[in-house]
Structure 1
Amino acid sequence: MNKFWVILSHTYLSKLKAKPFIISTIISLLFVVALANIQSIIDLFTDDEVDQIAVIDETNTLFVPLTTNVEAASNDLELVEFDGTVEEGKDAVINEEYNALLVITLNDKQLPEASYYANNISDTGDQILLEQQVQQLKVALATRYSGIDEKALMEINEPVTFQATALDETAKTEEELNQARGIVYVMLFVLYITVMSYGQLIMTDVANEKSSRVMELLVSSAPAVTHMFAKILGIALLGLTQVGSIIILGIILIKSKQDEYMGGIFEYLGFQDISPAVYVYAIIFFLLGYLVYATIAAMLGSLVSRVEDTGQMMLPLIFLIMIAFFIAMFGLEAPDSTIVKVTSFIPFFSPMIMFMRVGMLDIPTWEVMVSIGIIVLSILLFAYIGAKVYKGGVLLYGRSSSLKDFKKALALSKKDS
């Protein structure tokens, strides 16, 4: 058992001191700080100047109502009546006296039309706003000419009241579903990125030790199974250290700016009212998902002798994680669909998909327990097979990038025992 802790601590401390880990952790922490101050950063780069739009109103009647509508819709736009010709207005825009020129005319039906001139029309914000306001004026005039009562028309076009109510008392409301969807979406990304990153780290670490022949010394000093699980748990602690530091910093920033975070995107993502059980399940399924993929990654890593070959061996794991992620994304909109229910009990997919279901729905506890039980049994099965393959795979040298090498690794494992 002492050898297990020696290998675990060596794996953890060596990776903890490595420059890639330190740099990636610092970048992640800076990203969290930037995210916490995103509004201040946006304000820093936001131009507070009001865009001035020159308006030539050839109808002599629409400038005042258009100005009133624009002022009600935006504080960043100012309409200025221009007394010159269209060509003079274009020249004023070219000389940057105005941001754009709007020319309003009437067509044969006495309804407004508009032409918009700007040095650059790639920024469509002002253009879309003005188009919408001119459209409103057109509707108002067309309604008046046709003799239709404007109030009646507004009532006709007013959106219908449509309220969805769940009869099941345990079902979540639409507001609760939107909040759960936000927090689950964020956590799925975290689970996806961390499982993939640290699974790759385990595989490359094993391959790197084999390529340098360090593995032969390690295996001779400790059983291969001990070495495999010590490495898996050592890198797991490394991942928890990085993720934990990010979470702790996030909590500190949230508490320090709690008043600023009330409402807005913070409320939309559901961080304010989410159940503590969701966070507990997030930790449980994160650890279980890591162990499932880490055990397989260590097993596959033992089959390759060069770090360059790990990319091809990692492909099956990447595909499995991507499939789980895409099904979970689909499940955010249809958490009760059959494919989501079925895949939530498949060990490769359930860490993401069952967690998504837990966050989105009030599912029976026994379903969650069955899913967790299947994952645990699968981890034990993968660990048993992985230990056999790892035991022979660490002694398997030469170019290897095929899953056919399983048989060779198992044969070497039997000979070694």
Structure 2
Amino acid sequence: MSNFLIMLSQAYFSKLKSKSFIITTIIVAAALFLLANFDNITSAFTSESDSKEKIAVIDKTDYLFDPLEQQVKVLNKDISLESTDMSETDLAKKVEDETYKGYLILSEGEDKLPHAVYKSNTLSDTTVSQDLQLGLQNIKANLTAAQLELSQEDLAKLNAPVAFEKEALVEGAKSSEELDQARGIVYVLLFFIYFSVIAYANMTAMEVATEKSSRVMEILISSVSPVKQMFAKIIGIGLVGLTQLAVILVVGYFALVRRKDELAGGFFDVFGFGDLSISVILYAVIFFLLGYFLYATLAALLGSLVSRIEDVQQMVMPMTFLVMIGFFISMFGLSNPESAFITISSYIPFFTPMVMFLRVGMLNIPAYEPIIGIAVLLITIVLLGIFGARVYRGGVLMYGKSNSYKDIKKAIQLTNKD
């Protein structure tokens, strides 16, 4: 046991002290902090006038500019309209030298309703043109109502959305608002699980291959059994991953909590952070850990078969595809988590970490379903661990070019000879 703990601490602290770990953690944590305070940071470097999109307006009707300006102030405070009598040639030059974002020509059609032409250097930025169009649409609705002698009350009734409510017949089922919030938080955590499992499982394979290629493995197996080495690396790198994620989550949490009041009704509500369930976080941690151990065991097995670091990515590529397939199934399930396909996929071990978490996060499923999923994962990890240990014991003794899965059989034969 002492040898195992020595290997575990070596795997953990060597990665913890590495420059790549420190730099990556600092960069990601800083990126989260900057993202949470992005608008405050950008506003510190730009004046209010510089941040506004200036649009020149040629009003040929003499009555559309004022109401449009009022509409745009409500729709987008970052757009500033300026009435002008300049020619289009002069305005085109102003747009070209970026004095104006673009210019708008307002006129009246044969139906006595607004007609507009918007011109700018490029049409790739649709936000400004869409807001201008929406403002004119509101003005057109008011003018049409006046032509038809409709009162403002009649117009309000005409534009009012239909009363449409959705109610679930199953007791305890989530409302549409709760589903939208759950979808947001599950979406974020699925990305978290996906990238973390890929990153740390690949790190395990790379660590095994590095020691083997440098011949350090030959020294280690003389004092510590290969199986102890394998599980020490898996657990050690897993602890490194948890340490890194804990730092990132703490920084992200405090960065967001500091602005909770400002983000209320926006980020927190859209992504479900305003009413975050402890059980969802708990399940996220459980399925992340089980998913990591499942794929890290497989990665260690595959990493032991190669003698060159260059061959690692090719060997673990099928494993990466399995993670990607599970992730894509989960993305599909965000819109239809109750489909039979999603339910069945949630019990397939290599997809369970993400797909079962999706179902737990979005649906009120019986407690025994995630428990079954966890049990399936644990059994698979144990079986894969037993098989992986046999392959690992022989694989670390194999040298030479190796990029075929046929080498698994050779590794097992070497283990049986020991």
Assess, with a 3 A threshold, how the Cα gap between structure 1 residues 18 and 385 changes in structure 2: closer, same or farther. Answer: same
| Counterpart-to-counterpart distance in 2, 1:257 and 1:151 | 39
Using the TM superposition, give the Cα deviation of residue 92 of structure 1 relative to its aligned residue in structure 2, in angstroms. 5.9
Cα contact 2:104–2:116 (8 A) shared by 1 = yes
Conserved? CA contact 2:283–2:357, under 8 Å: yes
Q: Structure 1 150/261 Cα, relative in aligned 2: closer, same or farther at 3 Å? A: closer
Amino acid at match of 1:191: I
Who is 1:243 aligned against?
A: 245
* 2:29 counterpart of 1:26: no
Structure 1 Cα separation of the partners of residues 277 and 307 of structure 2: 47
The structure 2 residue matched to 1:369, chosen from 363, 368, 371, is 371
Gaps of 5+ in 2: none
Relative to structure 1, is the Cα distance of residues 406 and 156 closer, same or farther in structure 2, using a 3 angstrom cutoff? same
Are residue 304 (structure 1) and residue 306 (structure 2) matched? yes
Cα distance in structure 2, aligned partners of 1:269 and 1:289: 23
The letter of the residue matching 1:65 is P
Aligned to 2:399: 397
Distance across 2 between alignment mates of 1:118 and 1:144? 32
Q: Which moved more, 1:341-350 or 1:80-89?
A: 80-89
Distance across 1 between alignment mates of 2:328 and 2:280: 20
1:3 and 1:87 map into 2 onto residues whose CA distance is 81
Alignment match, 1:65:
67
2-side partners of 1:2 and 1:97: how far apart? 72
In the other structure, the counterpart of 1:37 is 37
| CA positional deviation for 1:192 | 0.9
1:304-343 mapped onto 2 (5 Å cutoff): 304-343=306-345
Partner Cα distance (1:65, 1:40) in 2: 31
Change (3 A) 1:53 1:2: closer
CA deviations 1:82-139 (Å, max 9, x no partner) are 3455555556656766554332223344443223344555544333322333344444
What do residues 257-304 of structure 1 show as CA deviations (whole Å, max 9, x unaligned)? 444444420232112212211111111111111110011111111111
Partner of 1:351: 353
The residue identity in structure 1 corresponding to 2:353 is P
Contact 1:86 1:103 survives alignment (8 Å):
no
Distance in 2 separating the partners of 1:224 and 1:92: 72
Q: Secondary structure at the match of 2:104?
A: strand
- 2:109 paired residue among 104, 107, 110: 107
Mapped contact 1:82–1:89 kept (Cα < 8 A):
no
Give the share of equivalent positions with the same residue, in percent: 47
Between 374-383 and 175-184, the greater mean CA deviation after superposition = 175-184
CA distance in 1 between partners of 2:365 and 2:303 (Å): 37
The TM-score, its normalising length taken from structure 2, stands at: 0.91
Structure 1 residue 255 displacement after superposition: 4.8
Give the 3-state SS of the residue equivalent to 1:56 in structure 2: strand
| Whole-angstrom CA distance in 1 between matches of 2:72 and 2:252 | 40
Q: Distance in 2 between matches of 1:88 and 1:397?
A: 74
In 2, are the aligned partners of 1:51 and 1:77 still within 8 Å (CA)?
A: yes
Amino acid at match of 2:350: F
- Per the TM alignment, residue 197 of structure 1 is displaced from its structure 2 partner at its CA by 0.7
Whole-Å separation in 1 of the counterparts to 2:269 and 2:233: 40
Distance, in Å, in 2 between the alignment partners of 1:244 and 1:399 is 39
> Counterpart amino acid of 1:294?
A
Change (3 A) 1:319 1:51: closer
Q: C-alpha separation between the residues in 1 aligned to 2:350 and 2:255?
A: 35
SS at match of 1:220: coil
Partners in 2 of 1:392 and 1:88 — Cα distance?
A: 79
Which residue of structure 2 lines up, in the alignment, with residue 232 of structure 1? 234
1:256: Cα distance to partner? 4.5
Q: Is the 8 A contact 1:389 1:410 kept in 2?
A: yes
Map Cα deviations across residues 120-160 of structure 1 (whole Å, 9 max, x no partner): 55544333322333344444445555667775455344322
* Corresponding residue of 1:274: 276
Q: CA deviation at 1:36?
A: 3.0
What code does the residue aligned with 2:115 have? E
Q: Which residue of 2 aligns with 1:163?
A: 165
Q: Note the aligned Cα RMSD (angstroms).
A: 2.5
What is the one-letter code of the residue matched to 1:43? S
CA gap of 1:79–1:309, structure 2 versus 1, over 3 A, is closer
Aligned equivalents of 1:97, 1:356: Cα separation in 2: 49
Partner residue, 2:180? 178
1:27 and 1:100 map into 2 onto residues whose CA distance is 38
Structure 1, unpaired ranges of 5+: none
Aligned length: 416
> Which amino acid is the alignment partner of residue 7 of structure 1?
M
**Which residue does 1:133 correspond to in 2?**
135
Pairing of 1:47-66 with structure 2 (within 5 A): 48-49=48-49, 50-66=52-68
- Give the AA of the match of 1:366: Y
TM-score normalised by length of structure 1 = 0.91
Determine helix, strand or coil for the equivalent of 1:335.
Answer: coil
- Asked if the contact 2:260/2:268 (under 8 Å) is kept, the reply is no
Report what 2:385 is aligned to: 383
Partner of 2:61, secondary structure, is coil
Q: SS in structure 1 opposite 2:251?
A: helix
In 1, the alpha carbon distance for the partners of 2:333 and 2:80 equals 45
**Where does residue 12 of structure 1 map in the other structure?**
12
**Structure 1 residues 324, 46: closer, same or farther in 2, change over 3 A?**
farther
In 2, the alpha carbon distance for the partners of 1:15 and 1:25 equals 12
Tell whether the 8 Å contact from 1:324 to 1:348 is kept in structure 2 after alignment. yes
Q: Give the Cα–Cα distance (whole angstroms) in 1 for the partners of residues 104 and 383 of structure 2.
A: 71
Say if 1:180 and 1:211 are closer, same or farther in 2 by CA, change over 3 A.
same
Deviation at 1:234, TM superposition (A): 1.0
Q: What's 1:223 paired with? A: 225
Give the residue type in structure 1 aligned to 2:413. A
Q: Does 2:220 match 1:201?
A: no
SS at match of 1:311: helix
* Matching residue's letter, 1:32: L
The amino acid across from 2:19 in the alignment is K
